[in-house]
Chain A
Amino acid sequence: MNEYVIQIEGLHVRYGKYEALGGVDLNVPKGSIFGFIGRNGAGKTTTIKTLLGLLTPRAGSCRMLGLDVQKQPLEVRKRVGYMAEDQQMYGWMTVDEIIRWVGSFYPAWDSTFVSHLREVLQLDLKQRVKNLSKGQNSKLALLLALGHRPQLVILDDPTLGLDPIARKEFLRYVISLLQNEGVTVFFSSHLLYEIEPVADYIAILDKGRIIKADKTIDLRESVRKLIIEPNNTCDWRQIQGLLDVAVDDGTRHAAITVEDCTPEKKVNIQTMGKLIREVPLNLDEIFEAYVIGNRGERKPL
């Protein structure tokens, strides 16, 4: 049995002359909650669309649940639950109609489970989709994505457009539901505080490339911010795995963010200045360091 439900190798996707993905490699372990993060336009949705066989890559391969996405896109879509970002559904259908309509495309549609889910999510069968609130719309999209009991659920920015409270409630519900079902969740978002408490693994996508993929706990442990008082002769570029440097011209203290912050690396850094303190980072700060870190150019704190 394959331990990865998603395997991506050297994926390149272009929109005309614009290269949206420039060689993405990614493995998603079975049963995990995998956070796929990146800024707007980083290529998250493009990756997901390619995974579902909705886009043709220029090069590279994708396998989902052991199936080649390009050769068997329909089989893949039958087994995967997909909730698109800001999903526009057919407003003229009633909730009941859209549930029955979507269900007819899936041989494994579980009507009993869907009825249960609909009651829990408090969706009125007679209401027209166009009259649903944003929150109810997201709940309906989630129900439609889960109705066939998929082994893998892909959520593409599922809380886009929801207010903070609705977002929290939605995520709490989704994660508790899916964790109990033992489903693998591939969860894309640019809101890191959404992903941080729930994801087992994180991949950071920037400008069409994966710049970091690791277990969330390891990522938090390995990336550190060190506040040091630097020597006059120090050269930041000599630090391996340097992500960001910020120098306070007033105190002359430098805050340097490094990945894989091992004791040896700390000793090496201490040759460049006096270590004042070590600060753990949250995912937001880690993401910022990876994506917009200056890699050795001075900037004020």
Chain B
Amino acid sequence: MSPTKALFWKEWRQMQWRWIFSLAMCCTIVFVGLKTRVLPDQMIILFSFGISAFLIPLFIAMGLVAEEREQDSLRMQLGLPVTARQIYVVKMAIGTLAVAIPAVVCSIIALLMAGNREKTSVDIIRIYGFAVPFGIVFMLWTVVFSMKRKTQWAAALTGMVILAVWVFLIICEDVFLLEVGEVHWDLSLIITPFGFLEAGLDKGHWLATSIVQSILAMILFWWGMRRFSMLTRSGR
């Protein structure tokens, strides 16, 4: 096994229970909900979408760095001939997969069980499709800003504060309205990943959100890598 493979293997195994639990929870809700039809399909899909976009990224982010800081196991890994950057990149890659997998599997189940039933298949794909980039961005923000937190709960709290700030920006919608010609652009939906969730937005708006969020994510990823390297070299 090469060092990179070994890093992937370790992260995957370490996160295994988290993503299996997330996957099981999300899929059970979709399967049971759509099978029994206790609620309209729309409600079941939105509920599982909320879990995929908000809860799972938070849960995964708690396990990426904070768990290791809590258990003080990072020291061992850093003593091996591997750089902090390699560790960080692998952690984020596994985190991304762990966030994306439940949403993708849920969308497949929903399509098979309720495609074109109450909602069109395209709508179902779109909803879960929005959950993936939102979840990844949310996980990234939580990991980067909770890097110095020494417990998983402190990391979760950081994630919730981030979410609260985004929601606050959305509530202050009027402040961020921009008129370009005849089009009204809501900047709060561009600078926060909530823009991914706005199915009613025009294509230009959605594209702007994607571009701004991609750039922000890249800056955040790079900054996170620096923070992680500095954190591990600070000895604290």
Contacts and interface: CB of A to CB of B under 8 A. Distances in A.
Interface of A: 13, 15, 20, 46, 49, 52, 54-56, 73-75, 77-78, 82, 84, 87-93, 100-102, 104-106
A105 B75 contact: no
Contact of A77 (B73, B76, B80): B80
7 contacts: A55-B233, A74-B81, A75-B81, A84-B76, A90-B10, A101-B10, A105-B3
Contacts of A87: 75-76
Of residues A74, A88, A92, A105, which shows the largest number of chain B Cβ atoms within 10 Å of its Cβ?
Answer: A105
A49 B82 contact: no
A105 B81 contact: yes
Contacts of A88: 71-73, 75-76
A89 B1 contact: no
Nearest to B6: A104
A126 to B, nearest CB: 16
B10 A102 contact: no
B14 interface: yes
A90 B79 CA distance: 14
Given A82-B79, A102-B80, A105-B80, 11 more contacts: A15-B235, A54-B232, A78-B81, A88-B73, A88-B76, A89-B73, A90-B10, A92-B13, A92-B14, A104-B1, A105-B6
B5 interface: yes
Interface in B1-48: 1-3, 5-6, 9-10, 13-14
Interface string B65-109: 000000111011011111100000000000000000000000000
B236 interface: yes
Given A90-B73, A100-B1, A46 B235 contact: yes
Given A46-B235, A54-B232, A89-B73, A74 B79 contact: no
B73 A84 contact: no
A77 B236 contact: no
Contacts of A73: 83
A52 B50 CA distance: 45
Please give me the 8 A-B residue pairs with the lowest Cβ-Cβ distance, nearest first: A104-B6, A77-B81, A104-B1, A78-B81, A88-B72, A105-B80, A74-B81, A82-B79
B167 to A, nearest CB: 35
Contacts of B10: 90, 101
Nearest to A13: B235
Nearest to B75: A84
Contact of B82 (A46, A74, A82, A93): A74
B79 A55 contact: no
Contacts of A20: 235
A54 B235 contact: yes
Interface string B202-236: 00000000000000000000000000000011111
A15 B75 contact: no
A84 B232 CA distance: 15
A55 B235 contact: yes
B233 A54 contact: yes
A77 B80 CA distance: 6
A300 to B, nearest CB: 40
Contacts of B14: 90, 92
A76 to B, nearest CB: 8
A89 B76 contact: yes
B10 to A, nearest CB: 6
Contact of A104 (B5, B73, B83, B233): B5
B208 to A, nearest CB: 40
A293 to B, nearest CB: 30
Nearest to B4: A104
A172 to B, nearest CB: 25
Contact of B233 (A56, A84, A101): A56
A279 B83 CA distance: 52
Contacts of B72: 88
Contact of A74 (B9, B83, B233): B83
